Chains A and B, each alone.
Chain A
Amino acid sequence: AAGVIQSPRHLIKEKRETATLKCYPIPRHDTVYWYQQGPGQDPQFLISFYEKMQSDKGSIPDRFSAQQFSDYHSELNMSSLELGDSALYFCASSLRLAGPDTQYFGPGTRLTVL
C-alpha cells in the first residue's frame, strides 16, 4: 500500500539559509500534519491543513510557513534557519471522512543546520 512520501530524506543547510520540505500524502487523504522532533524529544505539532486550508496551528515559528496544494501535497518552507532548527521533520496524513483520525506518518526529513 502507498505510504506518505517525504522529500528530501536528508538536508544540510547553513545558518540563515532557507529550506523547503515536501510531503505527499497517501492517495485520497485530505489532511496533512507537520511535526518537528528534536534530538531525544517527542514530536511537536507544527501545523495542519485540510482541503488546502490551514486547519490547526501549533508551535510553528514565524520563520516557517506551509501550504497544501491542489493535489494535496504540502510544503513546509523554512527561512532564516537557525542551529536549533536541526531536527527530524515528518508529516502525517489522514482522511477526514473516515472518522476519527488515524494519522499515517512519513519517514521524515532530517534537517541539519550548520
Chain B
Amino acid sequence: AQSVAQPEDQVNVAEGNPLTVKCTYSVSGNPYLFWYVQYPNRGLQFLLKYITGDNLVKGSYGFEAEFNKSQTSFHLKKPSALVSDSALYFCAVRPPSGGYQKVTFGTGTKLQVIP
C-alpha cells in the first residue's frame, strides 16, 4: 500500500527566509508525486508534480520540490518566503501504471510565515 508522511504539523519561518516543507513517501514502483496548497475554506490548489525527468521540479508561486529517490523524499522549497505563503500544504502520491487511481494525501503541514 502506498503512503505519504509529512513529519511536521507546523513550520514557522520568517518572511524572506528560505522555507522547506518535508514529505516522504512509500509506493511500489516509480512514484507520481504532488504538492497542493490549501487556503482557509478553499479547495486544494495544485502547486507542482513530479512524474519523471529532472529531480528538481519548479511549480507555481516560486515553489519547487526536489525528488530524492534514495531517501524517498519530495520536500517542498522556496528560496524566500512571503507572508501570503501562509497556508496548509499537502503532499500526495499515486502509483504509476494502471490508469487513474486514487491519490493518497499526507496529513498536511501548516506553514506560518512571520512578518
Contact = CB atoms under 8 A, between A and B. Distances in A.
A52 to B, nearest CB: 14
Interface residues of B, number: 24
A94 B43 contact: no
A107 interface: yes
B105 A43 contact: yes
A56 B36 contact: no
A45 B103 contact: yes
B49 interface: yes
Contact of A31 (B36, B100, B104): B100
B43 A102 contact: no
Contacts of A92: 44
A15 interface: no
Contacts of A100: 32, 49, 51, 96
A96 B100 contact: yes
A50 interface: yes
Interface residues of A, number: 28
B6 to A, nearest CB: 9
A90 B43 contact: yes
B102 A45 contact: yes
Contact of B107 (A31, A42, A102, A107): A42
Contact of B46 (A90, A103, A106, A107): A103
A24 interface: no
Contacts of A22: none
A31 B44 CA distance: 17
A31 B94 CA distance: 16
A18 interface: no
B105 A42 contact: yes
A105 B43 contact: yes
Given A56-B101, A106-B43, 4 more contacts: A48-B100, A55-B100, A105-B43, A107-B43
